[in-house]
Chains A and B, each alone.
Chain A
Amino acid sequence: TQLLEQSPQFLSIQEGENLTVYCNSSSVFSSLQWYRQEPGEGPVLLVTVVTGGEVKKLKRLTFQFGDARKDSSLHITAAQPGDTGLYLCAGPSTGRRALTFGSGTRLQVQP
């Protein structure tokens, strides 16, 4: 069974700070996706990383896929209250289309 572990589980920071959240597995994934979910809503896809070592930037968000395709990180620069939410990483289970999700990092950015 492929598992994705995310850390930290909770993070509360002040506006303007930088932060990094992690998504780790002992298994290789063909790709990993990052989603953000706000209370009462469904997950919204932020990015998909496919190639080992890949770095993708989305404004103040930087996503990295590990060389061995077993881990990923999300770095947010100068966090804003609008970044508050649950950040989930997910990857396709081997040989299947179902996504395996991590349990998420709940981020709160205080103004």
Chain B
Amino acid sequence: NAGVMQNPRHLVRRRGQEARLRCSPMKGHSHVYWYRQLPEEGLKFMVYLQKENIIDESGMPKERFSAEFPKEGPSILRIQQVVRGDSAAYFCASSLGADNEQFFGPGTRLTVL
């Protein structure tokens, strides 16, 4: 039973490029959450999605960041015109229902040069 999958595991971008991070939730899970972790810090919530809907994006920067979870396929976190401050580990989690425990993927480590 596969866990949460994220790809790529490592992503290097130059300033101004776009970064696309993918997350496939655990089988049967329809709730997806994205978190960001800066070095030596805890995780900070960014956005919560259900299939085709954004439920809570209160932690998402207002500009350059967007997320989607289409009917078919993985959830995508998209960062446009990346800056050095976007360098971080981005984690996706999924849950069976809104009140169920969240299980995390291995993360995507984004480095902006």
Contacts and interface: CB of A to CB of B under 8 A. Distances in A.
B31 interface: yes
Contact of A96 (B6, B56, B91, B95): B56
A88 interface: yes
B104 A97 contact: no
Interface in B54-85: 55-56, 58-59
A105 to B, nearest CB: 10
A66 to B, nearest CB: 20
A43 B59 contact: no
Chain A, interface size category, equals 20 to 34
Residues of B contacting A: mostly: strand
Contacts of A102: 42
Contact of B31 (A40, A88, A97): A97
Interface string B83-108: 00000000101010011011111110
A40 to B, nearest CB: 8
Contacts of A98: 33, 45, 48, 56, 58-59
Contact of A42 (B45, B59, B91): B91
Contact of B104 (A44, A48, A96, A100): A44
Contact of B33 (A33, A97, A103): A97
Interface of B: 4, 6, 31, 33, 35, 41-45, 48, 55-56, 58-59, 91, 93, 95, 98-99, 101-107, 109
Interface of A: 33, 35, 40-45, 48, 88, 90, 93, 96-104
